[in-house]
Structure 1
Amino acid sequence: MKCIQSCWKLSTLSCALFTFMSPTWAADHITQTTTDSMPAETPAVQTLATLKFSATADIAKDPDISAVAKTIVTREEMLQFGDQSVNDALRRAAGFQLPTAGQGPRGGGGASGMRFRGGSAPIFLINGEVVQGGPRGGMSIVDSLTPDMIERIEITKQPSVAQASVASSAVINIILKEPLDNTRLSATARVGYGLAKSDQKQEERKNISVQADGRDSPWLYSLSANQMWNDSTAVTQTQTSTQTREQKRITERKSQMLSPRLEYELDDQQKLVAELFYRNNESDGRRSDQVQHDKNDSLRLNTRYERKDKGNSDKIRLSVEQQHETELTQSPLLSSYTDETINEYVVGYDGVRKFNNTHQIKFGLNARNNELESNVSQSLDEQQYALYAEGSWKFTDRQTVTLGARQEWIDRSGLVEYRDQHLSPVLAHRFDISDAWSLQTNISQAFRSPKTDRLLPTVSISTDSDAGSLNNPDRGGNPDLRPEKITAFESTLGYNTASGGINITAYQREIDDYIEKVIRQEGSRFVERPQNQNNANTYGVEISGRYALKQTQQGHSFMLNAQLSTVHAKVEDENHQQRLVSDVAPYTASTGISYNYQPWRLATSVNLNYVPEFTRALDNQPYDRTSNQRVNMDISLTKRFSDGWASTLNVRNILSTDYKERLTNQSNGSLYEARINQAIPSVLISLEKKF
């Protein structure tokens, strides 16, 4: 009888949503992960993270009643797992495919190489403001941030009109750290040294970072800075049906990031914020007959006025950014130089009104002007405007519905003459079946216009002996790209308690004018460019779970997390021929174990990642590409001492396999060409001091 009564409580809205949904639902992580920190006067290892849920215990801290799911990773959790970057934290979040060491030329690095559910890279925000990489996918501010600079990371995988991505990708909002204590100045300094070496390949990493902050009411201030050096000698083996060659490449990289931040509290509810990001990245690469020099400088200023009154808030944003990127390639056969500059100006407003415990509305506007100048193509100007509104109604104690819409206008001139507008609606429903069980459903429709840098026809020359081949093509943009039209269905079934939980996620996306990177021969070389395909269908299931043992009286604490993310991405081209997307793995799996022993102030973690072997046909090419099975293990150990000292040992790529790509003829299965990028273990030792 109780089961019948529970089922009867399922609203007609839930039934309607199920009617429209595909058997392959979409899902998301609904838990919020937080960590119990130690008292400030005890320089001990932090207690292992426990799980708290936004539907119950966190209402007092976050009055948001939206049915759209959000996952939160705290700074304490990142420090516990020995994370050195944002990517390290995201590897534990289901649905993300991260670039691995030794990955092929299309893999990229850092945030620019990440994929979400087999699609594009997620949208990164810093304190709610969009950040970008270089004009052709260079490193972004995100790649320069360390856990010491971050308060928390908010991950929104399901569509929400409050962010510009809507249904196209996940949104990762990085909230920067504020002063933890009422001290005028406190700081953390960290130095690190890493080495990876084999018979032919070597990588040396050095980094220095400082995070300082303080409070002198009504002023809050902080300064984050880091400097990184990464020198590597890589060996790539290429093979054809007639010969095998090895190519050694030496690369020297260095990057700097300086970020001062200032807040002024007008009163208990209002404050003014100004933050500056300066970033410089340089890379020099050499092989026997080719020299490559890349440089990216950026300066971004974010200013905000914020007002918060319980569940109500207002935020006015003003941002200015300039990026300058150059790329020089020289060899006996070719020479190219690219010089591009981006100027961006943004103004926006975001508001929240919570009328009571059951009704809430979010609304806002955004205006963005982007100017891109290039020495090898016509300049490109872009104006983008958006209005959005999203209302949430908790119509029973256990059910919430969220309905929103985002209207966008875009106008491009110069290289591309393009003008368009579109409306993106979102409908979400959350049903808390019990204190532990919950069900979320999300239906949305959205448009995604191609980024400005993807429209530039500029070609970046590849390196290595097989540069310009099918396995290692040059890369360029496409000024004829059309926006994608996306219809998404998502659903999440979750079971979560204070000790842990499991979330089963399913999703489906129909994408018209799907943008895929395809390879075509241009002259004597192959070039990879984004191109619209007629249609794409992606669907999959994600299973993620955590189990946490809170610290016992003896000082033991433990956490186990695991995930399995599947994706089936099929493309239909303009000739109505269907095939699987060429560079999307059918699934990825990972697991991690973290153990703390308080009396010894010792924290350890082990993370294991797996990608299976898969074979895909290339678009309009008579070849199949096979990517090999890959395994990667990372181990972290942190020991804390007295007086704020700590040391961390990170061992990466243990049991790691080389990255291999093999092209075979579809007609007879014979080898056309192959390449192997070596992957070797590395050791990184860090020393930390808190002041």
Structure 2
Amino acid sequence: MSAPALTVAAWVLMAAAAHAQQAPQAVVEVNASRDSYDARRDDTAGKIVVSREDMVRYGDASVLDTLKRVPGVTISGGNAQLRGLGAGYTQILLNGERAPSGFSLDALAPESVERVEVVRAATADTSTRAIAGTINVILKRAVSKAQRDWKAGAGASSDMAEGKTSLNMSDPAGAFSYSFAANASRNTFRRPVTTVETGGDAQGRPLYEHQLRGSDVGNFNTLNLTPRLTWELDNGDILSWQSFIYANRLHYHSRYVATYVTGAPRIDPLTGSVTSTARRTIRSDVAWTRKLGDSARLESRIGIDAGNYATALAQSSQAASGTLTLDRFADGLSRDRALRGSGKYSGRAGGAHTIGAGWEGSVARNTSDRQQADFGLAATPERYRADIRSLALYAQDEWTVSPQWSVYLGARWEGIGTRSGGSGLANVRNDSSVVSPILHTLYKLPGGSGDQVRMALTRTFKTPDAARLIARPTLTINNSASNPDSTGNPDLRPELALGIDAAYEHHWAKGALLSVSAAARRIEDCTVQALNQTDGRWVLRPENGGQCDVRTLEVETRFPLQSVAPGAPPLDLRLSVSRNWSAVDQVPGPDNRLAEQVPLSATAGIDYKLGALTTGASFVYSSGGHARLSQDQFTFASARRDLEMYGLWKLDSKLQLRVSIANALRHDWISDRSYAGAAGTYGTRATQPGKTWVRAMLEARF
């Protein structure tokens, strides 16, 4: 059945079911205490909520490290992925709004976060730029009692060390309350890397093999602050201010020595570089919530984003004779500024309906300055800019048809306009808009068995980042078909997706769940990477590549062992398996997966508590394998196996010690990129040895 026919059939079935339920209507009352509420079980639009307790359990350095243990989430290249898809298919939100430019989950300490929501199917009240799903990070905001927490810890691995400290403070004082979180860290590292470059002719006969051995040596320092102030006014209105401030500095030098295994030398025997970067980001919001009667409220928010990203890169390459063949220095500064606003009305209607409507808008500008000097001769400075304007309107209705059945209907219109240009480039204008109808339904089987089924139909999309719309080249040192330059494409179009999700869930005890879910996406104008040779250099350029189908099957269970075996030890068990498939029409198979999708991931974990001791272990697996990017481009990534363990000792009521071990299996990371076409065969394979981390954290409450 085609995707449009499937959508129509689903809507007809829902309408028929609603008609069958129509008896003399009565007000449906749902009485549930806060303690009994479970978002995973009770929300019509299903989501996974990762609590702050879960995030700090393993002493992770960042939220990104925490998410790899969440079912269905994989980590690749410093990005969190749903359905095995990164590259912008997974949407990242900060307090329900799209994260500021340059934001990374690797930059956020778990201690600054109240919870993380993982939403696999879109809803109308957040952006529908979420083909694979949404990860919404909620910064610390709840203040129910005075709290003072301080943590300090250190970690070590071979040739690597880290130190971190955090402070959390909150206090309610009548109508006023505040919270403040501060986190700082320093990481020193030496990362050895071995790269093998190979080449052959068009018939596959080998021509050369070169090995580059070296390491990256440096340090990485971070600081983030999250202050929040809240006032409850005499009329019941709530006024709040919250900011997120982040800064980091990275400095490292690299030195690589080439060994010529076979064939004539194609690269210099000695290359090196020195890299320095500094990022400063602030997001600040003022929100006002006005109560309208007993069940309605109006929320308004205005905010600003500001960020600077400075880079400095020195590159050199030396021939066997000692002559410098490359002596380059480039520095740049990228500036992001944005003004945001939003408004939302929500309330109950008719007793069984919870309705909402709202708007979101933003105006953003990115400017980038870059200057390069080769052998001391400076080239003309370059400047690029991109202006982005967005506006969204939405409405939604969550209808409790009966105590067993609820339906969510929503619609969202989202328009985005981009203006970009720069040195030597023509001004480019891109405008797009998408209307997204959304349906979720939850049906709890009668009899109190805890069995329930879900379904969702969504229309989502993905817009190209502003940087990918600017045809600005990024150059590599040893340019080849397997190590190409990259550039943007001002003609990129948004990708549109029609999706369906379905799930069966069985909740049989507190904290006990069995879930089986499946999903499919039909994506139009999906982005692929086109490789071409221009002026003697290989260049990678994004292009729209036709249609793509994505499918996912997930199985998850978690439960206290005592829920199935009374009298058993107090163990909490969890297990999940996710299988992903995708195929891009314009790329020949096999392995023509979208965006190097992770085909298979799995998690397993156990937690045990006995008196003052809490301990546990977690195993995370992500498959790799071969992927075909185009007619003549291929990649390979090794599977990842991460085993982690932790122990928490409560020394007294205010002091505890946490010890954790990460990457206990010392898994190496291998990545490979290759080309096989009319120009011959080329390959670049990099191997980075794995390192086991041991961390200790002392936590005090005062």
* TM-score normalized by the length of structure 2: 0.81
Q: Which has the larger radius of gyration?
A: 2
Tell me what 1:602 maps to: 613
User: Is the alpha carbon distance of 1:555 and 1:175 closer, same or farther for their aligned partners in structure 2, counting shifts above 3 Å?
Assistant: farther
Distance (whole Å) between structure 2 residues aligned to residue 470 and residue 550 of structure 1: 57
| Structure 1 segment 169-188 matched on structure 2, within 5 A | 169-178=132-141, 180-183=143-146, 186-188=147-149
Larger mean CA deviation between 295-304 and 117-126 belongs to 117-126
SS of residue matched to 1:453: helix
- Residue 85 of structure 2 corresponds to residue 118 of structure 1: yes
Partner deviation per Cα, 1:392-436 (whole Å, 9 max, x = no partner)? 222233122221111122222242312232211112222112431
Tell me what 1:349 maps to: 343
Residue identity in the other structure for 1:445: R
Q: Deviation of residue 448 (structure 1)?
A: 2.5
Tell me what 1:314 maps to: 298
Distance (whole Å) between structure 2 residues aligned to residue 453 and residue 203 of structure 1: 33
Count of aligned residue pairs for this structure pair: 620
RMSD: 3.3
Distance (whole Å) between structure 2 residues aligned to residue 166 and residue 540 of structure 1: 19
- Residue 226 of structure 2 corresponds to residue 215 of structure 1: no
Tell me what 2:357 maps to: 363
Tell me what 2:309 maps to: 325
| Structure 1 segment 48-197 matched on structure 2, within 5 A | 67-99=44-76, 107=77, 109=78, 112=79, 114-121=81-88, 122-134=90-102, 139-140=103-104, 142-165=105-128, 167-178=130-141, 180-183=143-146, 186-197=147-158
Contact 1:65–1:394 (CA under 8 A) maintained in structure 2: no
Q: Deviation of residue 317 (structure 1)?
A: 0.8
Larger mean CA deviation between 158-167 and 204-213 belongs to 158-167
User: Is the alpha carbon distance of 1:15 and 1:165 closer, same or farther for their aligned partners in structure 2, counting shifts above 3 Å?
Assistant: closer
**Structure 2: gaps (5+ residues):** 1-5, 15-29, 199-208, 256-271, 317-325, 370-381, 422-427
575, 583, 587: which is aligned to 1:570?
583
Q: Deviation of residue 450 (structure 1)?
A: 1.8
- Residue 223 of structure 2 corresponds to residue 249 of structure 1: no
Contact 1:587–1:611 (CA under 8 A) maintained in structure 2: yes
Larger mean CA deviation between 165-174 and 297-306 belongs to 165-174
Contact 2:464–2:492 (CA under 8 A) maintained in structure 1: yes
Partner deviation per Cα, 1:461-496 (whole Å, 9 max, x = no partner)? 56xxx8645555555433221111111111111111
Contact 2:91–2:130 (CA under 8 A) maintained in structure 1: no
Tell me what 1:372 maps to: 366
Identity %: 22
SS of residue matched to 2:66: helix
User: Is the alpha carbon distance of 1:596 and 1:269 closer, same or farther for their aligned partners in structure 2, counting shifts above 3 Å?
Assistant: farther
Residue identity in the other structure for 1:513: D
Q: Deviation of residue 78 (structure 1)?
A: 2.8
Distance (whole Å) between structure 2 residues aligned to residue 228 and residue 472 of structure 1: 33
**Structure 1: gaps (5+ residues):** 1-12, 22-53, 100-106
588, 603, 607: which is aligned to 2:601?
588
Distance (whole Å) between structure 1 residues aligned to residue 188 and residue 481 of structure 2: 28
Distance (whole Å) between structure 2 residues aligned to residue 609 and residue 576 of structure 1: 28
SS of residue matched to 1:545: strand
Contact 2:670–2:688 (CA under 8 A) maintained in structure 1: yes
Q: Deviation of residue 664 (structure 1)?
A: 6.0
Tell me what 1:535 maps to: 547
Tell me what 2:495 maps to: 484
Contact 1:163–1:171 (CA under 8 A) maintained in structure 2: no
Partner deviation per Cα, 1:502-559 (whole Å, 9 max, x = no partner)? 1111111011111245555555554544332111111120111101257999996321
Tell me what 2:592 maps to: 579
Q: Deviation of residue 179 (structure 1)?
A: 5.7
SS of residue matched to 2:489: coil
User: Is the alpha carbon distance of 1:169 and 1:314 closer, same or farther for their aligned partners in structure 2, counting shifts above 3 Å?
Assistant: farther
647, 650, 653: which is aligned to 2:663?
653
SS of residue matched to 1:98: strand
Tell me what 2:269 maps to: none
Tell me what 2:274 maps to: 291
Distance (whole Å) between structure 1 residues aligned to residue 58 and residue 562 of structure 2: 16
SS of residue matched to 1:579: coil
User: Is the alpha carbon distance of 1:320 and 1:167 closer, same or farther for their aligned partners in structure 2, counting shifts above 3 Å?
Assistant: closer
SS of residue matched to 1:444: strand
Q: Deviation of residue 290 (structure 1)?
A: 1.0
419, 435, 439: which is aligned to 1:413?
419
400, 408, 413: which is aligned to 1:394?
400
Residue identity in the other structure for 1:266: L
Tell me what 1:33 maps to: none
Residue identity in the other structure for 2:388: E
- Residue 695 of structure 2 corresponds to residue 678 of structure 1: no
Distance (whole Å) between structure 1 residues aligned to residue 12 and residue 587 of structure 2: 31
User: Is the alpha carbon distance of 1:617 and 1:155 closer, same or farther for their aligned partners in structure 2, counting shifts above 3 Å?
Assistant: closer
Partner deviation per Cα, 1:121-152 (whole Å, 9 max, x = no partner)? 53233332322242xxxx53x43433333322
Larger mean CA deviation between 484-493 and 372-381 belongs to 372-381
- Residue 284 of structure 2 corresponds to residue 301 of structure 1: yes
Q: Deviation of residue 595 (structure 1)?
A: 1.1
SS of residue matched to 2:570: strand
* TM-score normalized by the length of structure 1: 0.82
Contact 2:676–2:682 (CA under 8 A) maintained in structure 1: no
Distance (whole Å) between structure 2 residues aligned to residue 574 and residue 641 of structure 1: 59
- Residue 162 of structure 2 corresponds to residue 205 of structure 1: yes
Residue identity in the other structure for 1:223: F
10, 15, 26: which is aligned to 1:17?
10
Larger mean CA deviation between 522-531 and 384-393 belongs to 522-531
Partner deviation per Cα, 1:576-613 (whole Å, 9 max, x = no partner)? 9993336222111111111111x2x1111211111234
- Determine which structure has greater relative contact order: mean sequence separation of CA pairs < 8 Å that are 6+ residues apart, divided by chain length: 1
User: Is the alpha carbon distance of 1:575 and 1:79 closer, same or farther for their aligned partners in structure 2, counting shifts above 3 Å?
Assistant: closer
Larger mean CA deviation between 512-521 and 535-544 belongs to 512-521
Distance (whole Å) between structure 2 residues aligned to residue 584 and residue 14 of structure 1: 25
